[in-house]
Structure 1
Amino acid sequence: MQSGLTDVFAAERVRAIAAAHQAERGALLPILHDIQAEFGYVDPAVEPVLADALNLSTAEVHGVISFYRDFRRECAGRVTVRVCRAEACQAVGANALVEHAEASLGVEMGDTTRDGAVTLDEVFCLGNCALGPAVQVGDRLHGRVSPARFDALLGEAR
C-alpha cells in the first residue's frame, strides 16, 4: 500500500478488515490498528472507505485518525525512535536530548530520515520515569540516555 489505496485490492482488503470487526462496539480503533499493522500506515484514502463500511461520516473517521498519535499517515522508517517528553524525563534532560536527536538525524519530531531508515517520534511517557531521559528504539526501552548514548543506540539500530 506504499502507493496508496489506488488499487482495488487495497480497498477490498480495508473493507474485509472492517467487516471482521463490524459486530464489535467501537470497532473503528481496532480496524485502524489492523490496517496500520497490515499496510504500515493509515492512508488518507482509507477514510471514505471506512466511513462507508461503518456508516460514519468521513469527518468522524478523519477525527479519530488525526486525534491519536499512534496512527501514521505515511510509512515509518525501518526503525522508530521514540523520545519521552513527560515531565520526569524533561527534568533530567529530555528537551536537550530531543534537540540533539533532531539535529543528529536532520529531521523534526514525527518525521522520517530521507533514506527511510529512522522515524523520530515523541511520546509522553514510556513508564521508565526513574531512569530518564527514556528512549525507545524499535521495541527496546533504554534509560538514562545522553546524547552520546543516543548516537550509539542509533548506530546499532541502523
Structure 2
Amino acid sequence: MTIAQRVRAVVDAHRGERGALLPILHRIQDEFGYIDPEVVPVLAAELNISRADVHGVITFYTDFRSDPAGTSTVRLCRAEACQSVGAEKLVADAEQVFGIKVGETTPDRSVTLEQVFCLGNCALGPAAQVNNKLYGRVDRSRLVEILAEDHA
C-alpha cells in the first residue's frame, strides 16, 4: 500500500466527523512518525480544504513534525518558572552537547531537541521530557546521564 493509500485509509476512518483534520494528523504521525509534506495535497483533496489550511495546522501545533524525529526526543521547558531556575542555560548546554539547535535532529538521528512552554513540573524546574518521561531539576550533567540511561 502506498503512502497516499494509507493516508486515504486514515481519512476514510474519520470521514464525516466534524473537525477531522486534527485526529487524522495525529493518526498519520503515529503511523509514520512524522507528517511527510507529500501528504498535504492528499489530505487537502480528500477533505476538500486548501493545502494552506492543512499546512497551517501542521505548522501551528508543535506536536506535529514534518521530518522524522531522532531515536530520542528531548523537550526542554522554557516557561517562566523554569527560566527563573536556569532553563536558558540548560537549552544552551543541550545545544552544545548535541551540536544542534532547538528544533533540529542530530545528523545520526539519535536526538531531536525541542522546546515547550510548560511541562507542568514548575516546582522542579528546569524540567525536561525525554521520550515522554518527565524529569525535574535537570542540568547539563543530569541530561547527559538521562540520555545515557535511556540508551542503555
TM-score, normalised relative to structure 1: 0.93
CA-CA distance at 1:147 after TM superposition = 1.3
Spell out, residue by residue over 1:102-127, the C-alpha distance to the aligned partner (whole angstroms, 9 max, x if none).
00000000111111111110011000
CA-CA distance at 1:78 after TM superposition = 0.7
CA root-mean-square deviation: 0.9
1:102 aligns with 2:77: no
Q: Select the residue among 50, 59, 78 that pairs with 1:66.
A: 59
CA-CA distance at 1:18 after TM superposition = 0.7
Query: Which sections of structure 2, spanning at least 5 residues, go unmatched?
Result: none
* Aligned residue type for 1:155: A
1:93 aligns with 2:83: no
Distance 2:142 2:56 in 1: 37
1:141 aligns with 2:122: no
TM-score, normalised relative to structure 2: 0.96
Distance 1:122 1:45 in 2: 26
CA-CA distance at 1:59 after TM superposition = 0.9
Q: Select the residue among 132, 151, 156 that pairs with 2:149.
A: 156
Partner of 1:16: 9
Partner of 1:117: 110
Query: Which sections of structure 1, spanning at least 5 residues, go unmatched?
Result: 1-7
Aligned residues: 151
1:41 aligns with 2:34: yes
* Aligned residue type for 1:111: E
Distance 2:129 2:61 in 1: 19
Which secondary structure state, in structure 2, belongs to the residue aligned with residue 150 of structure 1? helix
Runs of 4+ in 1 over 2 A off after TM superposition: none
Which secondary structure state, in structure 2, belongs to the residue aligned with residue 121 of structure 1? strand
* Aligned residue type for 2:94: A
